[in-house]
Amino acid sequence: MSAPKTLYEKIWDAHTVRPETDEAPAILYIDRHLVHEVSSPQAFTQLRERGIPVAHPEKTIGVIDHSTPTLPPGLDGLRAFANKRARDQVELFLENCRANGIGHHDWESDQRGIVHVMVPELGESRPGRTIVCGDSHTSTHGAFGCLSFGIGTTEVAHVLATQCLFQRKSKTMAVDTTGVLAEGVNAKDLALYFISKVGTDGGVRHVIEYRGTAIEALSMEGRMTLCNMSIEAGARSGMVAGDQTTLDWLRACSKPPSDAELAELARRLPELRSDDEAVFDKRVTIDARDVPPMVTFGTDPSAGMGVDGIVPLPETSDDRKALDYMQIEGGKPLLGKPIGTIFIGSCTNSRITDLREAAALMKGRKVANGVRALIVPGSHEVRRQAEAEGLDQIFIEAGVDWRIEPGCSMCIGMNGDVASPDGLTLSTSNRNFKGRQGPGAKTVLCGPAVAAASAIEGRVADPRKMEIRS
């Protein structure tokens, strides 16, 4: 009998071209390489200058998402790029993909979207695979039981040239859950709750595997939200072992694997999970029944609490600086504090289940006067589904600025969709760093339900107190 292994170790071993030694990192084979316009230009330049071709263009997927406008082209047919830099970046990227024979999703693609939303829809994020991208939130794909993580630009060049990557093995961390999330509490709340417990360095040098009853009960969308946020706990990646939910999602996605591939995946699934006796370097246990709808009050994702909680008094000068920046007072509730903006979108929470959750609360109601509400679907696929269900109409009637071109948008503001510095911005994205969503923007991270309820109330609101109108 071979020694028991974690899922991470199994995928690692199956992709090791040369094992790690004290002197040198391992060489890992990469099944899928995702490239976007922000982190790839220097990598393509390096290859071009050295005359090296892309080794496996058919295993590389190109996407434009960060700098892309979310409004459709004007009557003149022109797209409203934020600036020349954004336009040049997108154009150069598309040229690089074409020159290297890389299949890519440009304006013509009806599958375009945020890389971590649309690649799963292509059926490409599958149990047992290795996936990398020059983007920290690549951990999202781990929701499908694959090993996926972000890499730097030099590594992007390396993977383009060789389809392999130098890597040191990570430690393993199990997050074991008991119970299930309460009604009105979602995967984002679980992620923020977990990060508030372990801190932004709780997962450093580890790959997290989320397990247990609460995870098994989550939809694929919820698992993606959770794995997405792993990086905010400092982890290399997050993963959830594939199960029937995974297979059903893959079978129903817009470009499903073939029947033969699905059958093969089903056959391999019992092996593609951590062995019962596998030893993790670190373990954390969470009772999912303890998780409330969450909000952050500081300027890092670990500064979180229940939406009806009291903001802790600052203990350090950094705490004080964070609260000063946020214009939030320690020792007081956040509930009821007036807000300026809400944003529902990003690779964390722009999927159909997120939009359904927001629409259920916004139906037949209006966004409060003076609040700007921006909702951006994560992909064209999500947009089409939302339109088919009439969610776009619910949003528009509520007074939401509903966008029809998917992209990262106000998560990072690179495309010109920036949050106002006036008032709090309740955002379903993943980072609340100072100025991340625009100069002076004060981000309160939360799930779609808290964002939607707050938009209606014009104040930080508890979605559990709002009646759902069906």
Ligand X SMILES: CC(C)[C@H](C(=O)O)[C@@H](O)C(=O)O
- Positions in the binding site for ligand SF4 (CB under 6 A): 66, 114, 116, 135, 137, 346-347, 408, 411-412, 429-430
Q: How far is the CB of 436 from ligand X (least distance, A)?
A: 8
Provide the minimum distance between the beta carbon of 63 and ligand SF4 in the complex, in angstroms, as a whole number. 10
Tokens of 107: 């304006």
Restricted to residues 224-283, the positions that interact with ligand X (CB under 6 A) are: none
Judged by beta carbon, residue 61 or residue 398, the one nearer ligand SF4 is 61
Alpha carbon 315 to chain centroid, angstroms: 31
Which of residues 181 and 411 has its CB atom nearest to ligand SF4 in the complex? 411
Question: Does 150 engage in binding with ligand X (CB under 6 A)?
Answer: yes
How far are the Cα atoms of 18, 30, 44, 153, 378 from residue 51, in angstroms, in the given order?
Answer: 26, 22, 10, 18, 36
Any contact of residue 136 with ligand X (CB under 6 A)? yes
Least distance from ligand SF4 to the Cβ atom of residue 230, Å: 12
Stretch binding ligand X (CB under 6 A), from 21-29, 130-138, 208-216, 318-326? 130-138
- Give me 147's structure tokens: 């090993």
Query: What are 465's two structure tokens?
Result: 């107190």
Cβ neighbours of residue 204 closer than 8 Å, sequence gap 6 or more: 234, 235
Among 28, 38, 181, 362, binds ligand X (CB under 6 A): 38
Residue 150 touches which member of ligand SF4, ligand X, none, C-beta under 5-8 Å by kind: ligand X
Cβ-based neighbours of 110, under 8 Å, separated by 6 or more: 380
The listed partner (ligand X, ligand SF4, none) that binds 121, CB under 5 to 8 Å by sort, is none
Q: How far is CA 354 from CA 82, 262, 267, 405, 423, in A?
A: 27, 27, 31, 17, 24
Quick check: 418 and 374 in contact, CB under 8 A?
no
Nearer to ligand SF4, 405 or 457 (CB): 405
405 contacts 68 by C-beta, under 8 angstroms: yes
- 28: which strand partners? 16, 165
Cα separation, 346 vs 435, whole angstroms: 16
Check binding of 66 to ligand X (CB under 6 A).
yes
Following DSSP, what letter does each residue of 292-325 receive, concatenated? PPEEE-SSSTT-EEETTSBPPPP-SHHHHHHHHH
Copy the structure tokens of residue 361.
Answer: 């609360």
Site for ligand X in 359-398 (CB under 6 A): none
Which of ligand SF4, ligand X, none does 39 bind, CB closer than 5 to 8 A by kind? ligand X
Whichever of 156 and 375 has its CB closer to ligand X, that residue is 156
- Count of residues touching ligand X (by CB under 6 A): 9
Which DSSP string do the residues of 194-218 spell out, in sequence order? HHHHH-TTTTTTEEEEEEEHHHHTS
Q: Pick one of ligand X, ligand SF4, none as the site partner of residue 60 (Cβ within 5 to 8 A by kind).
A: none
Q: Which is nearer to ligand X, 133 or 453 (CB)?
A: 133
Which of ligand SF4, ligand X, none is residue 147 near (CB under 5 to 8 Å by kind)?
Answer: none
CB of 344 to ligand SF4, least distance (A): 12
Asked if 135 touches ligand X (CB under 6 A), the answer is yes
**Closer residue to ligand SF4 in complex, CB, 196/350:** 350
Judged by CB under 6 A, does residue 200 bind ligand X? no
172 binds, among ligand X, ligand SF4, none (CB under 5 to 8 A by kind): none
Write the DSSP symbol of residue 182: P
Q: Which does 38 bind (CB under 5 to 8 A by kind): ligand SF4, ligand X, none?
A: ligand X
What is the C-alpha end-to-end distance of the chain, expressed in Å?
55
Nearest CB to ligand SF4, comparing residues 119 and 460 = 119
417-442 as b/e: b if 16+ CB within 10 A? bbbeeebbbbbbbbbbebbbbbeebb
| Of 76-84, 135-143, 241-249, 444-452: span binding ligand X (CB under 6 A) | 135-143
Question: Cβ 332 to ligand SF4, closest distance in Å?
Answer: 30
Interface residue with ligand X among 5, 33, 126, 137 (CB under 6 A) is 137
Between CA 382 and CA 397 the distance in angstroms is 19
**Which x/- pattern, by CB under 6 A, does the window 403-442 give for ligand X?**
---------x------------------------------
Cα separation of 428 and 431, whole Å? 9
Kindly tell me which of 68 and 96 has the beta carbon lying closer to ligand SF4: 68
> What does R_g of the chain's alpha carbons equal in angstroms?
21
Q: What residue type is 419 in one-letter code?
A: A
Write the CB contacts of 99 (distance below 8 Å, at least 6 apart in sequence).
none
List residues near ligand X by CB under 6 A. 38-39, 66, 134-137, 150, 412
